[in-house]
Amino acid sequence: MLARIWSLMILFMFSYSVTANVIQVEIACPGFFSLVNDLSLGYHGAAFDAALTKSNVLYNGVFNFTLTVLLDPVKIRDGLTLDAESVNLIAAWYYRRRDVSDIVRVIITPGSIDSTNVQQLMASWNIFSMITSEGSKSRYNLRAPLLIGLSFTGIEYIAITFVDTLRLFNWTSVFLVADSDSLPMFSYVGSEIIKAVIDVNSETAQTKRITIVERRVASRNAATFKQQLTIVLREFRGSSRVMIFLARGDVVRALMMTAHSTNMTNGDFVHLAFEVTPILNRESNITWQQGAEDDEAARKAFRSLLLIHAREEERQTLNSLVVQKLEKTVRDHSQQLFNVTYSAAQHPLAGMISAYRSIEIFAQVLNDSRSQRGVSSIFDGYNLSRMFLNRSFESDLSDIFIDGTGNRRVELAVTYFAADKGGSRQARNTAFRLFEVHSIFPSWLDGKWPPPNEPRCGYTDLKFDCLQAALNVTSRVSISSSGSVLFATAAEARVH
């Protein structure tokens, strides 16, 4: 079994004046090359390769970095199958050369590995790993080296930002909908929101606890999806005024248009979404503009949308000249090295940058440990992984801050879409708490900001006090009407 898997591994070796004093460093990279989603090595493999080449030049005579790409094309074709097979794949790589003790080993991958069980292996071997794009949260609680997360859009922190937004405006009855046919991370974010709400509720008074109704839709079949939206919005109207909708941009637009057609974008309802990364010409972008006849209606529909996204300074990084140059280099190398072809519009830029920076940052930390603590320290994955914590890594490509849990933090903003103004945003120096930048009140429909968690008469206008008041009004109208008829009849009788 191990021999079969090893036969499917691809080994890239880069050597620069290798001598007996040069420290050998092997990076294992489990993944797949089919372009089924943004985690494919078809997108990221050449970025790893480019950064590795640069690091070998920079640390020539000190380290010799090699990259071993772990593949099993028979069993692993996408993220789900990689997650299922990642433990076997990584174990086969490690035990192939377990008797060689003078090699520094690390696992660096775009994601979709079984984090919990892989971390258990890491604890046994005392090596750490880096996940550059997306991964499930490890549930391994014993002493172990860390999984360093470099994702531009950390799922756990997106979820926390949603919950912080709900608490900021006292919204406690929430309708959460995720599209199962958008990127997997949208469903992951939904799960993390549920977990975050559970954590918050455990520390909150009963009257302030958040209640979530969770639903799923599937956008692949247009006709079925339209029916699902109608059903979901009907249920939403009867139980909440705040919806979190987790889906790519074109699907969010479809929801907003359907809501608009049922008068649910009038300011009484608020819809929240998030944009993974702002990439030009991609369906992931959240926008009402499609150059279509219904653009004006879509613009009006988006007046009830709040968007969570990386703040503008972070977003602009993705459009810098340095990034554009690297993107073209990586895309060209993907075709040359792996025979994989895709357009610039398809390229997940944030993931590509994280892949490139992961090698740079790893090499920097490795050299820091060697210089400050001696050569023996770089073979200790437990302590080496903790040298990343609470630290900024600056670069003309992208500055990266890794927090005390080992995860990258990107400052997020909550923007009122119609006004294109950040209502609230985070800052690292305030522990990433939301603070108000601009008031949404002047721009919100009819100035009804924020929409109350529940209308005065309830979600279906059936609260007892309102029904009683309506009944009293009806009674007065009936009595008054009867009196008028009697008076008119009596007057008419006198005339005769």
* pLDDT tens per residue, range 330-342: 999 999 988 999 9
Predicted pLDDT at 8: 47
Contact by Cβ (8 Å): 115, 137 = yes
The 10s digit of each residue's pLDDT in 376-434 is: 999 999 999 999 999 999 999 999 999 999 999 988 888 887 765 545 555 555 556 77
CB crowding 439-472: b at 16 or more within 10 Å, else e: ebeebbbeeebbbebbeeeeeeeeeeeeeeeeee
CA distance 350 to 347: 9
Residues constituting the chain: 496
Q: In the chain, helix, strand, coil percent, each to 5?
A: 45, 20, 35
Query: What confidence category does residue 89 fall into, taking pLDDT thresholds of 50, 70 and 90?
Result: very high
CA distance 14 to 324: 25
Q: Does the pLDDT at position 207 exceed 80?
A: no
Predicted pLDDT at 405: 93
Query: What confidence category does residue 465 fall into, taking pLDDT thresholds of 50, 70 and 90?
Result: low
Instruction: Classify 50 as helix, strand or coil.
Output: helix
Mean pLDDT within 359-388 = 98
Instruction: Classify 413 as helix, strand or coil.
Output: strand
Domain borders along the chain are 2-153+318-388, 155-275+278-313+411-447, 463-496
Q: Who wins on pLDDT, 107 or 153?
A: 107
Which amino acid is it at 188?
Y
The 10s digit of each residue's pLDDT in 255-276 is: 999 999 999 999 999 999 998 7
CATH fold for domain 155-275+278-313+411-447: Rossmann fold (3.40.50)
Which amino acid is it at 157?
Y
Predicted pLDDT at 241: 97
Predicted pLDDT at 289: 86
Q: Tell me which CATH code domain 2-153+318-388 carries.
A: 3.40.50.2300
Predicted pLDDT at 291: 87
Are the folds of 2-153+318-388 and 155-275+278-313+411-447 the same? Answer: yes
Supply the angle between the helices 249-261 and 222-237 in degrees, to the nearest 10.
60
Q: Does the pLDDT at position 347 exceed 60?
A: yes
Predicted pLDDT at 120: 98
The beta strand positions in 42-162, using DSSP E, are 63-70, 103-111, 129-134, 147-149
Contact by Cβ (8 Å): 153, 248 = no
Predicted pLDDT at 425: 56
Query: What confidence category does residue 476 fall into, taking pLDDT thresholds of 50, 70 and 90?
Result: very low
Mean pLDDT within 230-246 = 97
The 10s digit of each residue's pLDDT in 288-311 is: 888 889 999 999 999 999 999 887
Tokens describing residue 111: 């994601």
**CB neighbour list of residue 136: distance below 8 Å, 6 or more residues apart:** 83, 114, 115, 116, 188
Max Cα–Cα distance, the chain, nearest Å: 127
The predicted model scores a pTM of 0.79
Average pLDDT for the chain: 85
Query: What confidence category does residue 10 fall into, taking pLDDT thresholds of 50, 70 and 90?
Result: low
CA distance 447 to 441: 6
